[in-house]
Amino acid sequence: MAVKEEIREALAGIVEGKIFYDEPMSRHTSTGVGGCADALVLINGENELAGVIRSLRQRSIEFLVAGNLTNVIVRDGGYRGVIVLMRNLNNVSYRCVPENGHYINAQAGASLASVVNRAAAAELAGMEFCAGIPGSVGGAVWMNAGAYGSEIKDVITAVSLLDAAGNKKNLATAEITFNYRRTVLPGQSIITGAEFKLAKGKAAEIKEKVADILRKRREKHPLDYPNAGSVFKNLPGMPAGRLIEEIGLKGARRGNAEISTKHANFICNTGGATAADVLELIELVQKTARRQKGVELTPELVIIGED
């Protein structure tokens, strides 16, 4: 059976949310580039998620679970499989456990912004570093997202997930390894939520810290153009942006993609760029860094699909 037919069969009767077939991923990725996915599914509930994953796995259909697609590049030839979008699983709640502490629980599809806002509303400090990171909770846990000296691992106490067999599980952070921009979870885990433990703070200070971080981001990052945030991981003692400047590639262009003149670790879609344009720039940076400096730059971005 052709893959597309198999996908239709796999999703039939299970998906309560929306399904888009042959969906241009440029409409959904933060870079605005990317070919068509065979299907994109908007999941509305955790049981639905488990059903979809089980059905796709039974048929060995490829899939990628994603949040806000702010860290994914889909090649121009598109993705042969299903993008499972978690955005609608976005509940965020606060609870205070007497003599234990203050917790925010968030489903994987909740935006980091909503967690930052919920924490601020409850006068809880610790989440401010996530202000301005446009991802979801699931994506942030998977990437161990970080900024301004803090990472997700510093604030989460537990992750809930669906394991490889499709069973619901809760893992305490002691059972998880958090690396720089990559969290190691048991194979094929799908993150369904996370628990954040935060400290009671002062409303005005939390608000000011968030505003300050957002101000810094606006000053330093090229937010006027679609992009995927930092393209490369920093090297020990050397921010990737500075290295890219030193090798003379700030402002380099391929097609309609440009290494930002504002921050060289960002690649901007200046209008009508393709994934190939972005990937050519990534390769150019890697080759030049190797040749001029003898160092290997590794992308933070997740790159999927066919050329």
Ligand X SMILES: Cc1cc2nc3c(=O)[nH]c(=O)nc-3n(C[C@H](O)[C@H](O)[C@H](O)COP(=O)(O)OP(=O)(O)OC[C@H]3O[C@@H](n4cnc5c(N)ncnc54)[C@H](O)[C@@H]3O)c2cc1C
Please give the residue ranges that form the binding site for ligand X (CB under 6 A): 30, 64-72, 86, 108, 133-136, 138-140, 142-143, 145-147, 190-191, 221, 227-229, 302
- CA pair distance 81, 99, nearest whole angstrom: 48
Q: Determine contact, residues 74/81, Cβ cutoff 8 Å.
A: no
Cβ proximity to ligand X: between 132 and 201 the closer is 132
In the complex, the smallest distance separating the C-beta of residue 137 from ligand X, rounded to whole angstroms, is: 8
Residue 146 bridge partners (DSSP): 151
**Whose CA is closest to 62, among 84, 42, 85?**
84
In the complex, the smallest distance separating the C-beta of residue 138 from ligand X, rounded to whole angstroms, is: 3
Cβ proximity to ligand X: between 207 and 217 the closer is 217
Cβ proximity to ligand X: between 61 and 86 the closer is 86
In the complex, the smallest distance separating the C-beta of residue 196 from ligand X, rounded to whole angstroms, is: 14
In the complex, the smallest distance separating the C-beta of residue 173 from ligand X, rounded to whole angstroms, is: 16
In the complex, the smallest distance separating the C-beta of residue 267 from ligand X, rounded to whole angstroms, is: 11
Give catalytic residue positions: 181, 230, 300
Cβ proximity to ligand X: between 113 and 276 the closer is 113
Cβ proximity to ligand X: between 44 and 288 the closer is 44
Cβ proximity to ligand X: between 223 and 249 the closer is 223
In the complex, the smallest distance separating the C-beta of residue 97 from ligand X, rounded to whole angstroms, is: 25
Q: What does the angle CA 148 – CA 154 – CA 159 come to, to the nearest 5 degrees? A: 130
| DSSP collapsed to 3 states, the chain | CCHHHHHHHHHCCCCCCCEEEEEEHHHCCCCCCCCEEEEEEECCCHHHHHHHHHHHHHCCCCEEEECCCCCEEECCCEEEEEEEECCCCCCEEEEEECCCEEEEEEECCCEHHHHHHHHHHCCEECCHHHCCCCCEHHHHHHHCCEECCEEHHHCEEEEEEECCCCCEEEEEHHHCEEECCEEECCCCCEEEEEEEEEEECCHHHHHHHHHHHHHHHHHHCCCCCCCCCCCECCECCECHHHHHHHCCCCCCEECCEEECCCCCCCEEECCCCCHHHHHHHHHHHHHHHHHHHCCCCCECCEEECEC
